Amino acid sequence: MSAQTPGAGTAPAAPAAPAPVAVALDAPDLGTAVALAEAVGPHVSTLKVGLELYLREGAEAVRAVREAGGGREVFLDLKLHDIPNTVAGGARSVASLEPAYLTVHALGGTAMIRAAAEAAPRTKIVAVTVLTSMAEEDLQAIGLAGPSIDAVRRLAALSVAAGARAIVCSPREVAAVRAEVGAGIDLITPGVRPAGAALGDQTRVATPEQALADGADLLVVGRPITAAADPGRAAAEIAAALRR
């Protein structure tokens, strides 16, 4: 894909209020990510920088996609998971970039989550409960017995008590997690697929409309937008579906 491709189509006019969608800019280089950010920025609230882009381009990725996206919020999805001192150092290292969100793995536990929250007080620490790619049998295989919803609820409650201000769970678990953590915590759902879209490696999925109806605050959508022939149009169509 050339750097020009994502914005090339004739996407519908941008709405006044961008949709509560974080586009996962999982791109192989900065030029592609910037072109995607330009194309989708008018339609969505948030741009997500993950491992592929950050490990290659570093802090410049955050600055560049923020500018290209017209100042949209940046979600830094690094999924930190280490001893508390190391995670605190990692969170401190990226705090000056002022991402709206920074992910850590809830499985790192209370002390690790608290260390991240204290190290980056101006960023919402987001605890990832159980990856949306994992099915029940995957959890059994790593010794997390019981239905995934039990682990998700437990990890969400622990994370919020430790200072996380947002939770990643699958869209299928949003209602249960809301009941667990109450209001005031952002519930963020990857594993979002418009009807008929390829699942790829995601297993615990729902449509954007269902995720929003069940109470998600921010929907993470990657490949259904970034792999589309016209990413700007794909983002605009999902945003329009969420307004209906």
Ligand X SMILES: O=c1ccn([C@@H]2O[C@H](COP(=O)(O)O)[C@@H](O)[C@H]2O)c(=O)[nH]1
The catalytic site residues sit at 79
Of residues 85 and 206, the one with the C-beta less far from ligand X: 206
30 assigned to a ligand binding site? no
Find the shortest distance in angstroms from Cβ 228 to ligand X: 11
Strand bridging mode 44-49 / 218-221: unpaired
| Contacting ligand X within 45-104 (CB under 6 A) | 50, 77
| Contacting ligand X within 177-236 (CB under 6 A) | 190-191, 200, 202, 220-223
**Structure token digits, residue 118:** 């204290």
Q: Applying CB under 6 A, which of residues 113, 131, 167, 206 lies at the interface with ligand X?
A: 131
Find the shortest distance in angstroms from Cβ 79 to ligand X: 7
Of residues 23 and 85, the one with the C-beta less far from ligand X: 23
Find the shortest distance in angstroms from Cβ 234 to ligand X: 11
Which residue of this chain has its Cβ atom nearest to ligand X in the complex?
A: 222
**Structure token digits, residue 34:** 């910037």
193 assigned to a ligand binding site? yes
26 binds ligand X per the rule CB under 6 A: yes
Find the shortest distance in angstroms from Cβ 191 to ligand X: 6
Of residues 1 and 118, the one with the C-beta less far from ligand X: 1
Of residues 148 and 202, the one with the C-beta less far from ligand X: 202
Q: Applying CB under 6 A, which of residues 49, 107, 119, 128 lies at the interface with ligand X?
A: 128
The site for ligand X, by CB under 6 A, has a size of 16
Q: How many residues does the chain have?
A: 244
Q: What is the 3-state secondary structure (H, E, C) of the chain?
A: CCCCHHHCCCCCCCCCCCEEEEEECCCCCHHHHHHHHHHHCCCEEEEEECHHHHHHHCHHHHHHHHHHCCCCEEEEEEEECCCHHHHHHHHHHHHCCCCCEEEEEHHHCHHHHHHHHHHCCCCEEEEECCCCCCCHHHHHHCCCCCCHHHHHHHHHHHHHHCCCCEEECCHHHHHHHHHHHCCCCEEEECCECCCCCCCCCCCCCECHHHHHHCCCCEEEECHHHHCCCCHHHHHHHHHHHHHC
Find the shortest distance in angstroms from Cβ 202 to ligand X: 5
CA-based nearest residue to 180, from 209, 203, 159:
159
Residues contributing to the annotated binding site: 26, 48, 77-86, 132, 193, 202, 222-223
Residues contributing to the annotated binding site for substrate: 26, 48, 77-86, 132, 193, 202, 222-223
Q: Name the residues that contact ligand X, by CB under 6 A.
A: 24, 26, 50, 77, 128, 131-132, 168, 190-191, 200, 202, 220-223
